[in-house]
Amino acid sequence: MDKLTIRQPDDWHLHVRNGSMLRSVIGHSARQFARAIVMPNLKPPVTTVAQALNYRQEILDALPEGSAFQPLMTLYLTGNTTPEEIKNAADCAHVYAFKLYPAGATTNSDAGVANIDAAYPLLEAMEKYGVPLLVHGEVTDAEYDIFDREKIFIDRTLSRIVRQFPGLRIVVEHLTTAEAVQFVESAATNVGATITPQHLLYNRNAMLAGGIRPHYYCLPILKREHHRQALLNAATGGNPKFFLGTDSAPHLTSLKENPCGCAGCFTAPIALELYAEAFASVGALDKLEGFASDFGADFYGLPRNSGTVTLAKQVWQVPEVYADADSGVAITPLRAGESLAWRLQV
């Protein structure tokens, strides 16, 4: 197969930051995706409908001229969130979910929920008003190994939430383990999951073997090969519970390549090419459209897109850096300077 045309996809987990960083990165997502669930972990976090609407307008103002890209906004769940704000979110046409970050789990998560049990009244309100919960599924206790944090969160926390709130729609974000795949597969239809391109393509050797490679460092961290294989089987198996979420997370190159580099892989410029590579690796390109374009829209109760995009089999080299001379933003993408076998036709 030399060309693949699919319904235009959506990105159900995306970071675009704000300010000059936003203006530098938003075009990469807009050229591929029709819509994206935008994460709220700014500084300060987006915690109210009013803040989300202001952020949405900032994104729209930063889009390339003529772009039809639609940001789907989320709110950051905190200990100060109220049931009234959850109802406000349910009533707002532009807010689609709340994001649960366990405090300290990832970038800008310090304001996250420290005591899940104390947040149960909020989850009850979300269930009542039909607002989805998006979960960064890791414990943050220092005594737990970083490679085990997802499994422990599922066993200790997420399984209880699912039992306690059977009507709550939940997206387990950026799955990384075989245990997480099994959990989602065995749960009811109101539980879905996103999978990133880096977790489909790489195990932890990509980050650690032959020297530390900071641009492969993300949270949840890359795991062992058998976990990657489980994710690949889930993504390419046609199960509508699993859908595309890049978790593209732009950071300045200077902040990634330093003694305490930050977590996140910048994949927005090459997202569809990476997914195509992963699906092609197991002869499952025919399954990419469902995963990328259909299942996420169905889960969120949104119409599938009417347009199409085309990927061509063409070897090309990923730029070493995406730089904006006017703003000083310079971001190193995943696979910088390396070759890809597929290219989006625009």
Report the DSSP pairing between strands 339-345 and 308-317: antiparallel
41 is in an annotated binding site: yes
Is position 136 annotated in a ligand binding site?
A: yes
247 is in an annotated binding site: yes
Q: Which token pair is 90?
A: 């349910």
Question: Do the annotations mark residue 251 as ligand-binding?
Answer: yes
Structure tokens at 303: 């119409």
Q: Is 99 annotated as a binding residue?
A: yes
Q: Residue 273, exposed/middle/buried by CB under 10 A (0-12, 13-18, 19+)? A: buried
213-252: buried (b, 16+ CB within 10 Å) or exposed (e) per residue? ebbbbbbbbbbeeebbebbbebbbbebebbbbbbbbbbbe
Q: How far apart are CA 8 and CA 32, in angstroms?
A: 7
Q: Are strands 11-14 and 133-135 parallel, antiparallel or unpaired?
A: unpaired
Q: Are the CB atoms for 172 and 135 separated by under 8 Å?
A: yes
Cβ(200)–Cβ(206) below 8 Å: no
Enter the tokens of residue 134: 């998006």
* Cβ neighbours of residue 269 closer than 8 Å, sequence gap 6 or more: 28, 318, 319, 322, 333
91 is catalytic: no
Tokens 């979960």 belong to: 135
311 labeled binding residue = no
CB 172 within 8 A of CB 180: yes
Q: How many CB atoms lie within 10 A of CB 106?
A: 22
**204 has binding-site annotation:** no
16 is in an annotated binding site: yes
Pick the catalytic residue: 247, 286, 294, 326? Answer: 247
Residue set of the binding site for Zn(2+)? 13, 15, 99, 136, 174, 247
Residue set of the binding site for substrate? 15-17, 41, 136, 219, 251, 263
Residue set of the binding site? 13, 15-17, 41, 99, 136, 174, 219, 247, 251, 263
Could you give the residue numbers annotated as active site? 247
